[in-house]
Amino acid sequence: MLTETRLVWRFNRGCRDALREIYERHKVDLVTLATALLADKTDAEDVVHDVFLRFARSTGKFRLTGSLKGFLATCVANGARNRNLAGRRRAGHEGDPSDAPAPDCQRPDWAAVFGDDLRRVGLALAALPYEQREAVLLHLRSGLTFRAIAEVQAVSINTVQGRFRYGLDKLRALLDGETFPCEQPKTLPK
């Protein structure tokens, strides 16, 4: 895109206004992606903050090889993955992040984050295994190709397509009326 090319050109020459403009253009997309991946807005904003600081340091060396949105979304996905892994290590869970437990969807801020009408979507996404959630969000929301997601996840395209398909099936089932694990009615103590 001409405007994006021009923006990156200015950014590479140290223009801070260009960097601010890049942030203003992409912040909502990136915060949304990070929040949906991490189910925690504070962590999500930390990731976006770190991504932008690192991006700012690349001035003069940055080469745009696709869309800027896709590039930044990939950086946020990598940052969110690292944070997720670090959190799991702190909590004593090692191994495949795909079997990570779903975030606590009872948190009161969950509806506040996404708004009441999209709360169930947020909950459904949070109920997906991390890799499936990442594949669904990067493809549907950030517009990354399966090939690009395969590079992010360091797996084959077939695996990504499988994760995407399983993720969608589960999302569909959850949004079509199945109860969420964290929404199951608690039995009253006898």
Partner 1 sequence: MRTTQDLTEVIRRLRVPASAALDERIRNALSRGAPPAAVEAPADGPGTLTLLAMLMRKKPVRVVLGGLATAATVLALVLPASTTVAWSMDQTIAALQKYRGVFMVGRGLGRTSDSVFMLWGRANPSGTASEACLLIADHKVVWAKDNVTHYYEPAEKRVLVDRATTAFLSPWFGPKLFGMMSRVGDPTAREEADPVTGERRVSFRCSLQTAKGPESWLIEFDPKTKLPTRLKQWDKARPEGQPALDVERILYLEDVSPEVFSVHVPPEVRFVAKDLEIPEANLPLLADPKSGMSADGLSRNEACRRMVQAFWGAAMARDLARLRELCPLVSGWNDALVRGILDQDAAVELLEIGAIEKEGRSRLGSMALVPSRVRCRDGRQLEVKILVQFRETDAGTTSCVVHAPYGIPFEIGENTPTRR
Binding to partner 1, residues 37-96 (CB under 8 A): 41, 44-45, 48-49, 52-53, 56-61, 63-67
Torsion of CA 71, 171, 47, 142, to 10 degrees: 20
Q: Of these, 79, 103, 122, 129, which contacts partner 1 (CB under 8 A)? A: 122
Beta-sheet strands, E only, within the chain: none
Question: Is residue 98 involved in binding partner 1 (CB under 8 A)?
Answer: no
% helix, strand, coil for the chain, step of 5: 70, 0, 30
Q: Of these, 161, 168, 180, 182, which contacts partner 1 (CB under 8 A)? A: 168
Kindly give, in sequence order, each residue whose CB lies less than 8 Å from that of residue 75, ignoring residues fewer than 6 positions away.
51, 54, 55
Kindly give, in sequence order, each residue whose CB lies less than 8 Å from that of residue 19, ignoring residues fewer than 6 positions away.
11, 52, 55, 56, 59
The least CB distance from residue 160 to partner 1, in Å, is 16
The least CB distance from residue 137 to partner 1, in Å, is 7
The residue ranges that bind partner 1 (CB under 8 A) are: 1-7, 9-16, 18-20, 23, 25, 27-28, 31-32, 35-36, 41, 44-45, 48-49, 52-53, 56-61, 63-67, 113-115, 118, 121-122, 125, 136-137, 140-141, 168, 171-172, 175-176
